[in-house]
């Protein structure tokens, strides 16, 4: 994906306008109004936006739906993206933008959709695994999504999730996030048996490091005491 495409996607996710169809005319209520619509109206809006090729002037509403109604939004986008890939006249801008919108949700719903795309073309959609995990940090603990990635049993997804974890684990902020995810996963401070079987620790180059384990366990203890 070139820099111009990335800038375009960034702009797409900022612009604000809503355009539902009313008596053949389109209106523009505030962005958050999209969440007040019925599910059927939201689905109609999503489908219409995809038919229009994800125009700039529907970006903020689509972003709101991706974040807050991802259970209905992500599958529709992913299915439309697959259809676009089958077309001999596929729009690269549409495909790249749709992929980024999926990843923007940063949750297991997004990860499942990305997995489907990676199974179609890892070279093209593989980077969306990293983008999903990066975006997860905006809304939730990204390490809970890393665990989900390994649970899927897809080698490409697991490999890319491990690469992401390897690249961020030296940060204390990320170690804290991992500690909290481990606390949630095991229901206690991680003990030796947890470390031995943990799918993240077993994939990290320094996963057996005493310093790493002590630091993460200390962060987990802090998190437990605050709960």
**Total number of domains constituting the chain:** 2
Q: Is residue 57 part of a domain?
A: yes
Tens-digit pLDDT profile for the chain (227 aa)?
Answer: 554 444 444 444 443 333 333 334 455 446 778 999 999 999 999 999 999 999 988 999 999 999 999 999 999 999 999 999 998 777 899 999 999 999 999 999 999 999 999 999 999 999 999 999 999 999 999 999 999 999 999 999 999 999 999 999 999 999 999 999 999 999 999 999 999 999 999 999 988 899 999 999 999 999 999 98
Alpha carbon of 74 to those of 8, 199, 221: distances in Å?
20, 27, 36
Pair (17, 66) in one structural domain: yes
Task: Tell me whether residue 224 is in a domain.
Answer: yes
Is residue 122 domain-resident? no
Query: How many C-beta atoms surround the C-beta of residue 197 within 10 A?
Result: 10
Give pTM, 2 decimals.
0.84
H or E segment to which residue 26 belongs: strand 25-26
Range of the domain at 44: 1-105
In this structure, is residue 164 part of a structural domain? yes
Query: Cα(140)–Cα(109) distance, rounded to whole angstroms?
Result: 13
Listed in sequence order, the residues at least 6 apart from 64 whose beta carbon sits closer than 8 Å to its beta carbon are 31, 32, 34, 35
């Amino acid at each position: 994906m070139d820099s111009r495409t990335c800038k375009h996607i960034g702009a797409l996710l900022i612009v604000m306008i809503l355009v539902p169809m009313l008596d053949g005319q389109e209106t523009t209520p505030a962005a958050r109004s999209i969440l007040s619509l019925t599910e059927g109206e939201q689905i109609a809006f999503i489908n219409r936006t995809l038919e229009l090729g994800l125009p700039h002037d529907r970006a903020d509403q689509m972003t709101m739906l991706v974040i807050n109604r991802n259970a209905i939004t992500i599958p529709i986008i992913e299915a439309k993206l697959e259809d676009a890939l089958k077309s001999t006249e596929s729009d690269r801008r549409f495909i790249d933008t749709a992929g980024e919108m999926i990843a923007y949700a940063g949750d297991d719903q997004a990860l499942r959709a990305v997995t489907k795309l990676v199974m179609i073309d890892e070279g093209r959609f593989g980077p969306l695994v990293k983008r999903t995990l990066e975006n997860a940090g905006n809304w939730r603990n990204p390490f809970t999504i890393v665990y989900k990635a390994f649970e899927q049993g897809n080698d490409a997804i697991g490999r890319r999730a491990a690469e992401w974890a390897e690249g961020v684990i030296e940060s204390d902020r990320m170690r804290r996030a991992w500690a909290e995810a481990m606390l949630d996963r095991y229901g206690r401070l991680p003990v030796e048996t947890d470390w031995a079987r943990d799918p993240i620790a077993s994939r990290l180059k320094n996963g057996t490091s005493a310093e790493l384990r002590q630091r993460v366990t200390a962060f987990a203890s802090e998190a437990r005491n605050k709960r």
